Structure 1
Amino acid sequence: MTAPAMLQTHPRTAPGLARILGDEGLRLFFPLAALHAALWPLLWAVVNGFDLPFATAIPPGLWHAHEMILGSFGAALIGFITTAVPEWTDSRRLRGRALYALAGLWATGRVVGLFGADALAWVAAIADTAWLVALPLYVAAVSWRKRSTRQLGVLFWLGSLAAAGSAANIGMALGDADMARTWLHAAGLVFLGLLGLVLARVTVPVTNLVLDPSEASSPYRPHPGRLNLAPGLVAVAVAGDLAGLSPAVSAYLTIAAGAAFLDRVAEAFVGREILRAEILALAGSSLLAGSGLLLVGAARLGAPFPETPALHLALMGGLGLGVLAVFAIAGLFHTGRTLPVPAAARHAFLMLVAAALLRVLPDLGILPPSPGPPHALAALLWAGAFLLWLKAYWPFLSTPRLGDSDRC
Structure 2
Amino acid sequence: MSVLPAIRILPSTDLIKAMSAEGLRLMFPLAAFHAAIWPFLWVVVWSLDLPFAVSSLPGQWHAEEMLVGSFGGALLGFLTSALPEWTDTQRISGRPLFLLAGLWASARMLGFLAVEKGWLLALVFDQAWILFLLAYALRLSWIKKSTDLLGFVLFVTAFAVAAALLRIAMAVEAYDLSESAIRILGLSLLGLLGLALARITVPVTNLILDPTERTSPYRPHPGRVHLSAGLTMLLILAEAATLSNAVRGYLMLAAGAAFMDRVAEGFVGREGFSFELGGLWLSSALAGTGLLVCGLSLIGLPLPWLGGLHLALMGGLGLGVLQVLSLAGLIHTGQLLRFSWTTRLSILLFVFSVLLRVLPEFTPTLTLPFGPHGLAATLYSLSFLLRAKAYIPLLWSPETVDQERC
2:63 is equivalent to residue 70 of structure 1: no
CA distance in 2, matches of 1:185, 1:391: 32
Partner of 2:39: 41
Q: Which residue of 2 aligns with 1:135?
A: 133
Paired with 2:389 and 2:226, the residues of 1 have a C-alpha distance of 34
Q: Distance in 1 between matches of 2:194 and 2:272?
A: 19
Match of 1:205 in 2: 203
Query: Is contact 1:336–1:401 with CA below 8 Å preserved after alignment?
Result: no
Aligned pair count? 397
Q: Distance in 2 between matches of 1:252 and 1:401?
A: 51
Aligned AA for 1:283? Answer: W
Bigger Rg, structure 1 or 2: 1
1:252 to 2:257 alignment = no
- CA 265–150 in structure 1, closer or farther in 2 if over 3 Å, else same: same
Residue identity opposite 1:65 in structure 2: A
- Superposed, 1:19-34 pairs within 5 Å as 19-34=17-32
Equivalent residue, structure 1, for 2:4: none
User: In the TM superposition, what is the alpha-carbon distance from 1:254 to its structure 2 partner?
Assistant: 0.2
Aligned to 1:315: 313
**Cα RMSD after superposing both structures:** 1.6
Contact 2:394 2:400 in 1 (8 A): no
Q: Does the CA contact (< 8 Å) of 2:262 and 2:281 recur in 1? A: yes
In structure 2, the residue corresponding to 1:375 is in which secondary structure?
helix
Question: Which residue of 355, 372, 379 corresponds with 1:381?
Answer: 379
Corresponding residue number in structure 2 for 1:327: 325
Find the counterpart in structure 2 of residue 152 from structure 1: 150
Quote the Cα distance in structure 2 between the aligned partners of 1:366 and 1:179: 27
Find the aligned partners of 2:180 and 2:56 in 1 and give their Cα distance: 13
Equivalents in 1 of 2:135, 2:298: separation in Å? 36
Contact 2:360 2:372 in 1 (8 A): no
Instruction: Give aligned-pair identity as a percent.
Output: 50
CA distance in 1, matches of 2:298, 2:225: 28
- After superposition, residues 117-196 of structure 1 pair within 5 angstroms as 117-196=115-194
Structure 1 residues 303 and 86: alpha-carbon distance in aligned structure 2, compared to 1, 3 A threshold: same
Query: How far did 1:300 drift?
Result: 1.1
Opposite residue 67 of structure 2, the aligned amino acid is I
**Letter in structure 1 aligned against 2:122:** A
What per-residue deviation string (whole Å, max 9, x for no partner) do you get for residues 210-263 of structure 1? 111111111110111210000001111111122122211211110110000000
Is 2:400 the partner of 1:402? yes
Normalised to the residue count of structure 2, the TM-score between the two structures is 0.94
Q: Could you say what secondary structure the match of 2:121 adopts? A: helix
> 1:325 Cα shift?
0.3
Q: CA deviation at 1:403?
A: 5.7
Gaps of 5+ in 1: 1-11
What's the counterpart of residue 9 of structure 1?
A: none
Shift in Å at residue 185 of structure 1?
1.3
Contact kept? 2:14, 2:398, Cα under 8 Å? no
1:157-206 Cα offsets, whole Å, 9 max, x none, are 11221122122222233333322221121111110000111011111100
User: Which residues of 2 match residues 169-318 of structure 1 at below 5 A?
Assistant: 169-318=167-316
Cα distance 1:270–1:366, how it changes in 2: closer, same or farther (>3 A)?
A: farther
CA contact (8 A) 1:284 1:318 kept: yes
Give, in whole Å, the separation in 2 of the partners of 1:100 and 1:407.
24
Which residue identity lines up with residue 77 of structure 2 in the other structure? Answer: G
Distance 1:13 1:100, change over 3 A: closer
SS in 1 for 2:361: coil
- Following the alignment from structure 1 to structure 2, what is the Cα–Cα distance between the partners of residues 41 and 244? 30
* TM-score under structure 1 length normalisation: 0.94
Q: Match of 2:48, as an amino acid?
A: F
- Measure the CA separation in 2 of the matches of 1:360 and 1:402: 39
Amino acid in the other structure paired with 1:402: T
Measure the CA separation in 2 of the matches of 1:87 and 1:151: 12
Q: Secondary structure at the match of 1:362?
A: helix
Distance in structure 2 (CA, Å) of the matches to 1:221 and 1:287: 20
Q: Letter of the aligned partner of 2:187 in structure 1?
A: L
CA distance in 1, matches of 2:270, 2:212: 18
Higher relative contact order, chain-length normalized (CA < 8 Å, sep 6+): 2
Report the Cα offset of residue 335 of structure 1. Answer: 1.1
Task: Write the deviation string for residues 115-155 of structure 1: whole angstroms up to 9, x where unpaired.
Answer: 11111111111111111111010111122222222211111
